A and B are shown apart, each in its own frame.
Chain A
Amino acid sequence: MIRNIAAEAMLTLVVIAVVVGAVLVPLALTQPDPLGVVSTFLLGPFKSPRHIGNIVELATPAMFCGLGVALILRAGMFNLGAEGSFFLGGLATVAAALWLPLPGPMLAPAALLVGAVVGSSVCVVPGVLRARYGASELVSSLMLNFAALFIGLYVLNVLLRDPTAGAMVSYKIPAEAKLPRLIEGTRIHLGTVMAVLACGLGALYLFRTAGGFESRIVGANPSFAAHLGLDADRIGLRAQIIGGLLAALGGGIEMLGLYQRFSWQALPGNGWTGVTVAILARDHPGLIVPAALFLGWLQVGGDLVARNFDVPNEAVGLIQALLLVAVTAAALTRNPRLLKAFGARRSGDAA
Chain B
Amino acid sequence: MSDRPLIRFDSISKTYPNGTVALSDVGFSIGAGTIHAICGENGAGKSTLMKILSGLEAPSAGSVAIDGVPARLDSPRAAAVLGIGMVHQHFSLIGSLTVAENIMLGQEPRRGPFIDRAKARARVLELASRYNLEVDPDARLSALSVAAQQKVEILKALSRETRILILDEPTAVLSPPESEELFRRLIALRGQGLTILFISHKLKEVRALAQYVTTLRAGRVSGDASMAEITDDEIARLVMGEAATSDIAPPAPAEAAPLIVVRGLSLAGNDANDRLEAIDLEIRPGEILGVAGVDGSGQRGLVKVLTGARRADSGTVLWDGEAIGVADTGALRRRGMAHLPADRFREGGARHMTLTENAVAGMHRAFRLGPFLKMDAMADRTRGIIERFSVRCPGPFAPLGALSGGNAQRIIAAREFGTRPRFLVADQPTRGIDVAAANFIQDQIVALARSGCAVLLLSADLDELLRLSTRVAVLYAGRIVASLPNGPELTPARLGPYMLGLETAA
Interface residues of A (CB under 8 A from B): 1, 204, 208-210, 213-214, 216-217, 220-221, 223-224, 226-231, 340, 345-351
Contact = CB atoms under 8 A, between A and B. Distances in A.
Given A210-B368, A210-B373, A349-B401, A227 B348 contact: yes
B347 A350 contact: no
15 contacts: A208-B372, A210-B373, A220-B352, A224-B346, A224-B349, A228-B333, A229-B328, A229-B334, A346-B17, A347-B399, A347-B401, A348-B16, A348-B402, A350-B20, A351-B43
Given A209-B372, A345-B17, A350-B22, A229 B330 contact: yes
6 closest A-B pairs by CB: A229-B330, A229-B329, A350-B20, A228-B362, A220-B350, A221-B350
B16 A350 contact: yes
Given A216-B357, A217-B350, A346-B17, 5 more contacts: A224-B347, A224-B361, A227-B339, A229-B331, A347-B399
A282 to B, nearest CB: 12
Given A208-B372, A349-B404, A351-B42, A227 B329 contact: yes
Contacts of A230: 330, 362
A210 B350 CA distance: 16
Nearest to A227: B347
A347 B361 contact: no
Interface string B360-384: 0110110010011101000000000
Contact of B309 (A210, A226, A348): A226
Contacts of A209: 371-373
Contact of A349 (B328, B341, B373, B403): B403
Interface string B290-323: 0000000000000000011100000000000000
B348 A224 contact: yes
Given A223-B347, A349-B403, A351-B42, A217 B353 contact: yes
Contacts of A227: 307, 329, 339, 341, 347-348
A208 B376 CA distance: 11
Given A224-B348, A345-B18, A347-B402, A229 B43 contact: no
Nearest to A217: B361
Contacts of B397: 1
Nearest to B375: A208
B428 interface: no
B48 interface: yes
B47 interface: yes
Contacts of B334: 229
Contacts of B309: 226
Interface in B396-451: 397-399, 401-404
B97 interface: no
A268 to B, nearest CB: 33
Contacts of B351: 221
Contacts of B371: 209
Contacts, number: 96
A305 to B, nearest CB: 40
B348 A346 contact: no
B66 interface: no
B401 A351 contact: no
Nearest to A350: B20
A282 B399 CA distance: 18
A223 B47 CA distance: 27
A340 B329 contact: no
Nearest to B374: A208
A348 B371 CA distance: 34
Nearest to A349: B402
B351 to A, nearest CB: 8
Nearest to A231: B330
B332 interface: yes
Contacts of A226: 309, 329, 347
A213 B352 contact: no
A293 B332 CA distance: 48
B448 to A, nearest CB: 18
Contacts of B402: 347-350
Contacts of A217: 350, 353, 357, 361
Interface string B9-43: 00000001110101000000000000000000011
Nearest to B343: A223
Contact of A351 (B48, B348, B349): B48
A202 to B, nearest CB: 13
B352 to A, nearest CB: 6
Nearest to B50: A351
A226 B349 CA distance: 11
A227 B343 CA distance: 11
A346 B18 contact: yes
Interface in B145-167: none
Nearest to B405: A351
A350 B357 CA distance: 21
A1 B307 CA distance: 36
A328 B352 CA distance: 20
B347 A351 contact: no
B408 to A, nearest CB: 9
Contact of A210 (B16, B364, B403): B364
Contacts of A210: 364-365, 368, 373
B467 to A, nearest CB: 26
Nearest to B403: A349
Nearest to B399: A347
Contact of B329 (A214, A228, A348): A228
Nearest to A214: B364
Contacts of B372: 204, 208-209
Nearest to A212: B373
B353 A223 contact: no
Contacts of B357: 213, 216-217
